[in-house]
Amino acid sequence: MPSRWAPKGSGPRAGVTVASVEPCPQAIPPHAIRRREKGSGRLKTLIWLVFFGSFIYVGIKVVPILLTEYQFQDFMDQTARFATVNRTSAAQISKQVMDEAKQDDIPLSADDLHVTAESGFVNIKADYSVTVDLNVYQWTLNFHPAAGNKPLT
C-alpha cells in the first residue's frame, strides 16, 4: 500500500498534490490558549459578581425608602377618604399628615404639604426628596404623593 505522502504520480490518487503542513513559528501553543480562556471565564465571573453585588447593595439602600413612601401614600389616601366623614378640618389633616411623616422619618416640611378641605372634597399633596448615599454616588429620589376623596355622585 502506498504511503499517503507518496510522491506525485504514484498510487491510486495519482495527480493529487498534498501540501505539507508545517507549524507556524508564531502559533500559540494549545495550553496557552486554554490558560487564556480560563482567565476570561474568571474575569466574566468577577464582573458579574460585582454587578450582582452592586445591584443587591442599591436594593438594600433604596427598597426601604420606597416602602416608606408607599406606606405614607396609603396613610394619605385613608386620611383623605375619612376626613369628610370625621369632619376633619384642613389644619387637623395637615397636623395628622405631618405627624405621620415625622413618625416615618420622611423629610417633609410644612411648606411642602398642601391640604384643601372644602365642601366635602379633600385634597392632600406633598413634595419631598430623599437623598440615598451609595458611597460612590448621591442619588436623590423625588416623591410627589397626592390623595383625595372623590364622591360617587
Least confident of 3-12, 39-48, 116-125: 3-12
Task: Mark out the alpha helices in the chain (DSSP H runs).
Answer: 30-83, 90-103
- Provide the percentage of residues in the chain whose pLDDT is more than 70: 72
CA distance 142 to 5: 79
Q: Report the predicted TM-score, pTM, of the whole model to 2 decimal places.
A: 0.68
The rounded distance, in Å, linking the Cα atoms of 93 and 109 is 14
pLDDT digits (tens, 9 = 90+) for 30-70: 666 555 555 567 888 899 999 999 999 999 999 999 999 99
What grid cell was written down for 43? 474575569
Element (H, E) at 147: strand 146-148
